[in-house]
Amino acid sequence: MDSWKKLRCHFIISEIDRMSEYLDLIDSSIKDSQQKLEVDLKARAESMTEEEKLDFYDFYEDDMINLGSDFPVFLFSGFVISWYSFIEHELISLCKSLKLTINVSIQDKTRFEEGIRRAYNFLGKAANYKIDDKHWQELEAVRQVRNRLVHEGGRLIPKPDRTKPDMVEIDLDEDGSIYLPINQNLYQYLIKYNLYAAGCMRLAPNYVYCKHLVTFGMELLVKIYKDFNLLPIAS
């Protein structure tokens, strides 16, 4: 049984490696498409007058915005959601494979919250194991990002007034202030990974952030697997 658990853990690690390859493929495809569009438009506009070029590029503005911003955000938002579900499923599966119980089993949804928080509680109470604080804080931040992507379509719309005490104030100089319906810790996380810019109306996951999630997920799971002796020391 232990050998099967170790084999499964190696498989999960290889899955994370494939996530990284998938991201590289997405990023490369986006850049190739952008370059092809730029080359095509430049070639077609070469013999135009300046006035004709203005109308020409104005006509294709939506295509340039889609390839340069909207499509990448859609693709990388989907990755963040999938990554979180993958980590959540693996932590719950780990609790199941270890047969952890706290009067109820991990499958019973009557207590101890749900998802990643449920796995955290079962690991702590049934296995006396605490996920590293730094890792847990990041998981909480990713959970909030994921929830906003899933339930709000990624929208983060500023408010003209502070309606809750923990809202973040954004100073727009001469334009006054706006307030974001998130706490300061999440705001700092968004800024750190360039997921939000002042004045924008939505989160914008990007290639660099998604690659960070791959590295973080690998670090998180490898540590947990090693702590439970589910990976060789050399892994």
> pLDDT by residue (tens digit) across 60-88?
777 777 677 888 999 999 999 999 999 99
Tell me the one-letter amino acid at 66: N
- Phi first, then psi: what are they for 16, rounded to 5°? -65, -40
pLDDT value of position 233: 45
Per-residue confidence (pLDDT) for residue 6, from 0 to 100: 72
- Stretch 148-153: mean pLDDT: 95
Report how far residue 224's alpha carbon sits from residue 216's, in angstroms, rounded to the nearest whole number: 12
Structure tokens at 110: 């009557």
Phi/psi of residue 196, each to 5°?
A: -150, 140
Give me the pLDDT at residue 105, please: 64
- One-letter amino acid of 25: L
Looking at residue 2, its pLDDT comes to 65
pLDDT in tens, 172-189: 888 788 899 999 999 999
Q: Higher confidence at residue 4 or residue 9?
A: 9
Residues 146-164, mean pLDDT to the nearest whole number: 92
130 pLDDT more than 80: yes
Tens of pLDDT, residues 21-72? 999 999 999 999 888 988 888 888 888 888 888 888 787 777 777 677 888 9
Indicate if the pLDDT at residue 170 is higher than 70.
yes
Q: How much is the pLDDT for 163?
A: 87
Q: Confidence class of residue 210 from pLDDT cuts 50, 70 and 90?
A: very high
Question: Domains of the chain: which residue ranges?
Answer: 2-154+207-227, 156-201
Is pLDDT of 168 > 70?
yes
Question: Which helix (H) or strand (E) covers residue 75, if one does?
Answer: helix 71-97
DSSP state of 127: S
In this predicted structure, the answer to whether residue 235 has a pLDDT above a threshold of 50 is no
